Amino acid sequence: MPRRQRVRHAPFEHLGPLDTAIPVSTGTARLTLENDGSVLLDVNGVPSSQLNPDPEHLVFEYMRWMLLVLDEGFGGPAGYEAAGDVAAGALQVAHLGGGGCSLPRAIASRYPRSRQIVVEIDELLAKQVRTWFDLPRSPQLRLRIDDALTALESWRDDRFDVLVRDVFSGPVTPEPLISIHAAEHAARVLRGGGIYLANCAAPPGTGLLADEIATLSAVFGYVGAIAEPAHLTGKRRGNCVLVASDQPLPEGIDRALRSDAVSVRLAPASQVAALARAGKILGQDQGRAGAPSR
C-alpha cells in the first residue's frame, strides 16, 4: 500500500512539566522529550506511550503492527471509504487501555471519519493527555473513565469493527482481561469480520503467550501472532500482537510486516496451532459460568 506524503507537524505546545513526577489518579506520570521531538510518557515508572508530533509515526513497534493490520484488513482509508462504509459510520474502534493514546491518535489521523472510544481507568491522566497531546475531540475520539472489563461487559453486541486490548498493571495485563470470559465478550462486541488486537507481553518461561493463544483459539475461529522470532519461542520478553477474528486474517499482513524496522513476522499457522495445544485456557471455570450469549 503506498504511503501518503507526510507533512511537517508542529511540536506539542501544551505539554506538562518535563522530567518531573506529575500526580495522576493511580500514582505519577513523567514526560521526557526525546531528540526526535517525540515525548515518552512513563506511568508509575513503566513506559506507557511515546508520541511523535506526526500522529502516524508510531515509535512503539507493536502499535505499528496493529495499525498495519487495520490497513490490511480494511484496505486503508481509501479502500474503506470506497467500500461504502463511511455512510455506515466508518471504522468503529474501541480501545481497552489508553495511556497517552498513541494508537487512537494515529487511527484518528489515518481514518479521519472513524469513531473511537478509549477506556482509561486513570481519570486525571486521561484529562492531562488530551491537553498535552492535543487529542481529537468526541465523537472522533471519546475517553471513557472506567475499568476495562466493566466497559467491555457493558457494550452491546456487534458494536465495533476493531477492539484493541492494551491494558497493563505494571508490566503485566490483569488476569481478568486475559481470561476466556473477556475473550467471549470481545467476540460478542465485534461485528462479523471484526478484528481483535491484543498486546501480550509474556515474560520468558511463563507460557503466557501459549495460554493466551489457547484461550483466544477457544473463542475465535482464526488467531494469529505477530512477534519477533525470539519472542515466539519464549526466549526473551517482548510485545507480541495477537490477532483474532471470526473470519480468515487479512492475507497481506506478513508481507507488509517485512517493511517494518524490526525483524518481525506473522507466525505460521502451524506454529500458532502448536502454541494453542501447549497452552491452557485461562479462567475457564469462571469464564464459562458467566459466558455471554451471542
What distance in Å separates the CA atoms of residue 27 and residue 136, rounded to the nearest whole number?
Answer: 25
Residue 45 gets the label, from left (phi > 0), alpha (psi -120 to 50) or beta, of left
- Give me the residue spans of the domains in the chain: 60-289
Whether 100 and 51 have beta carbons less than 8 Å apart is answered as yes
pLDDT in tens, the chain (294 residues): 445 555 567 789 999 999 999 999 999 999 999 999 999 999 999 999 999 999 999 999 999 999 999 999 998 877 777 776 655 558 999 999 999 999 999 999 999 999 999 999 999 999 999 999 999 999 999 999 999 999 999 999 999 999 999 998 877 899 999 999 999 999 999 999 999 999 998 877 778 999 999 999 999 999 999 998 878 876 777 789 999 999 999 999 999 999 888 889 999 999 999 999 999 999 987 644 344 433
3 state SS of 23: strand
What distance in Å separates the CA atoms of residue 133 and residue 80, rounded to the nearest whole number?
Answer: 27
∠ Cα 58 209 157 (to 5°): 75
pLDDT of the residue at 2: 45
pLDDT of the residue at 262: 85
Task: Return the amino acid letter for 294.
Answer: R
pLDDT of the residue at 294: 35
175 secondary structure, DSSP code: G
Whether 210 and 275 have beta carbons less than 8 Å apart is answered as yes
pLDDT of the residue at 293: 36
Q: What is the pTM of this model?
A: 0.91
**What would the grid cell of residue 136 be?**
481529537
60-289 has which CATH code? 3.40.50.150
Side by side, the strands of the sheet bearing 141-145 are 141-145, 115-120, 92-96, 160-165, 190-201, 239-245, 222-227, 265-266
Q: What is the dihedral of CA 79, 82, 88, 93, to 10 degrees?
A: 10
What distance in Å separates the CA atoms of residue 42 and residue 80, rounded to the nearest whole number?
Answer: 34
Whether 264 and 227 have beta carbons less than 8 Å apart is answered as yes
DSSP β-ladder status, 222-227 and 160-165: unpaired
pLDDT of the residue at 8: 65
Task: Tell me how far CA of residue 101 lies from CA of 40, 164, 284, in angstroms.
Answer: 12, 12, 31
pLDDT of the residue at 239: 86
